[in-house]
Structure 1
Amino acid sequence: MQNIKDTYQRITDTIVEQLEAGTKPWIRPWRGNVRSSLIPRRATGEAYRGINVLMLWISGQMFGYEENTWMTYRQAQDLGAQVRKGEKGTLVVKYGTFTPKEREDDEERSIPYLKGYTVFNVEQIENLPDRFFSPIEETPSTPVPHLETVETFVSRTGVKLTYGGTNACYRPASDDILMPDRERFNSEVHLYSTLLHEMSHWSGAKHRLDRDMSGRFGSECYAVEELIAELAASFLCADLGVTHDPRDNTAAYLASWLKVLKNDKRAIITAAAKAQSAADYLHQLQSSKEREAACPDCSSATA
């Protein structure tokens, strides 16, 4: 089995290779099955998270898979199916901590682990049950400029949002987001990709997830936070069924991200984990708002 350092390096090399080719590997040209989940899923239906989402998106983009369900060779066999001869699997990881028996009384001595294993897209497998494939539907030809699902999601976070001007940014001092007028965007795809990027920055405020957002443009700290926000936006767009197509700042940002990734092979995994936390945080705000809507008086009730 590969050691943990080799696994980190393989993942980082994959991301760097895509970035050096001028491709942001977390952006996929979604097509085909509109009813298929945009977040990759296991054979059980459980969604992958963090760095595994990126690794499977990269593989799907490279090989043109339209389905987003993945499973191990053994899982395919257990279903009476078979991976086609010559098919190449995709690396995913399982990560967590464990405590050796002799240290079970000391929680601070838990040891992190990262284990790599191989999965295959269902399109690489023969004789799978029909339930693993989505019916093909044509994507509507006319874009919808106002997506109620995303608007509701944004509203339920409680973020202070203002449209006007020409810049998109999160302003820490006033703890709000400024967006250009809606008509300045080419489509709802560009608008919501940008908005969810800025909301990901918003999640990192000290009184929320408390990420380090002190860096200036060109610094490593700034590059890392931008990478976290872009990854989080890509996760959120997938969750909400929106194509992710961020602002065209490719050259400067790719250069800064490559520098960070080449200096620290764990950086992309850490960034993906923090991006997942940002997306999770914004989703959690939805639940609290739903409870308040269902019971307006509950929040003020006392025991």
Structure 2
Amino acid sequence: MQSIKDTYQRITDTIVEQLEAGTKPWVRPWRGNVRSSLIPRRATGDAYRGINVLMLWISGQMFGYEENTWMTYRQAQDLGAQVRKGEKGTLVVKYGTFTPKEREDDEERSIPYLKGYTVFNVEQIEKLPDRFFGPVEEIPATPVPHLETVETFVKNTGAIVNYGGAKACYRPSCDDILMPDRERFDSEIHLYSTLLHELGHWTGAKHRLDRDLSGRFGSASYAGDELVAELTASFLCADLGVAHDPRDNTAAYLASWLSVLKDEKRAIITAAAKAQSAADYLHELSRAPGGGRGHSV
């Protein structure tokens, strides 16, 4: 059994990896469906509390889960369901105190305990009863304006942009950019800041500017390209006359990335140079006769 110290360390490592990668995974610039704003729930319907809420929010944001109900492997089996092969669970904890029998007369002798265990989101589980899936409710639609300057710029780069995902990301295997539906974004500022950030990642593909995109989440190389992408978005927003994400994420990103890359004093200079190259490259693609070879849908 893992010690309390080990469990605390796993929790701390999970959150630190997120922050060191320059990401606040519990904050995103688009709206989920109605379910996504709820406190995570157990299979019984009871709400999680404390650190478990944060851990499940982090996991939900990382993997794009819309549902907020979580259960153990055994709970799924007891319901006649099965966790899909290859799915990775999320750490949560049970904590409290107990008093050994020989100390039952001494309340001050209560011993705290913290036990870590693994849960899975219902979206990771097959053959669950329908009651574990909330009805999809329509998001109040507030049209996000189209900024033709940015739309034309992105289209002319040739980047393939697909809307309809649960998260925003560049997918090297597909060589495309996946975005949530436009209606999920709070404003055109959030939408285009996010799109141009992912376009920054798109430039790093081997057949483009050939940056290292192989880093795992939480690694220095991952954090480094996140910084390049964010600075690229900042440069492009300025070039195209678009306000950058007003939540002031850039300062938070820079602080955490500099912490991750503190052993390399030239990290910010290198990242800024790579971001400028990415922005220049995208401008060149957009100005090229006929633009690039892609499309947005």
TM-score by length of 1: 0.47
